[in-house]
Amino acid sequence: TPLLQKHPKRIRVRPVVPLMIILLLASACAVVRTPTLAKIVLLAPFEGRYREVGYDALYAARLAFADAAESQVELLAIDDGTQAANRAAALTHDPQVAAVIVLGYNATSPEALQALGSLPTLIVGDWGAIPSGDNVFMLSNPVLRDQLTTSTRIAVTDAAITSAPVVGGDAFALDGFQLLRDLLEGVTVLSSSALPDADFSARYASDQFAPPAGLLATLSYDTAMIAITAAQTDSPLQAITTTRYDGLNGSISFANGYWQNAPIHRYQYVDGVLTADDAVE
């Protein structure tokens, strides 16, 4: 039309300028209001024969996050797999990772622990792991493995055919072990983790997808709580090093990379159910 031909620029430009201002203001507001999240990574098996280890810890950690009600920290679960060292190394490139919780044989291998660099690392259980630096903390009594009659890193398939009587570590408490073994009589399990009581089991099972709480569930919960608290500080490593936490498993503090005065619980199978026998120092 004659009007469009006479004033083309005025008609096209007027709506654009206010729109650009609105978008810029909205973008600026979004940047100001978006919180910087800290991440706690759970590196554990979520596939294969040992997947129950990862999921047992995952639902326990989720319960800890729900109880902590901390919106500035998020949980990231990563399957360790056969490439645990590579996946661990990748975490060192994310500045938001405040701490890493590890379980299982692959995630606690020397290669994986070394690949985590200086990231604060919390090992739940024994798994035959060795703290490789000032940033690695093991939630287990260091003398526990001296009382075992099997390898600390025994495969669950080998554990299932080991002659009784036998004293094993956390792997001997797995459902996979129980399913593979014909007779549970004569099997003793040593662990620094306390079995979940009725209250914890009920709260754990409030997630409809959660499996029955396993032996390491309570210790995974306490570990997640320690990591959540540390992630809210300027120095998570320092916070974990000096932590004094009272939780489901008693008082937790660290000395030389190990849980100081950690208990050693003795469990045996009674009618197919893992049952507390006593505690030894």
pLDDT in tens, 128-187: 998 889 999 999 999 999 999 999 999 999 999 999 999 999 999 999 999 999 999 999
Which is nearest to 139 in space by CA: 152, 148, 126? 126
Which is nearest to 88 in space by CA: 112, 110, 69? 112
Q: What is the pLDDT of residue 35?
A: 62
Is 17's pLDDT higher than 50? no
CA 129 to chain centre: 15
Mean pLDDT of the chain: 89
The b-or-e profile of 192-217 (16+ CB within 10 A means b, else e) is bbbbbeeebeebbbeeeebbebbbbb
Q: What is the pLDDT of residue 36?
A: 59
* Two structure tokens written together for 234: 């300027």
Average pLDDT over residues 19-33: 43
Q: How far apart are CA 77 and CA 280, in angstroms?
A: 33
Q: How far apart are CA 77 and CA 55, in angstroms?
A: 9
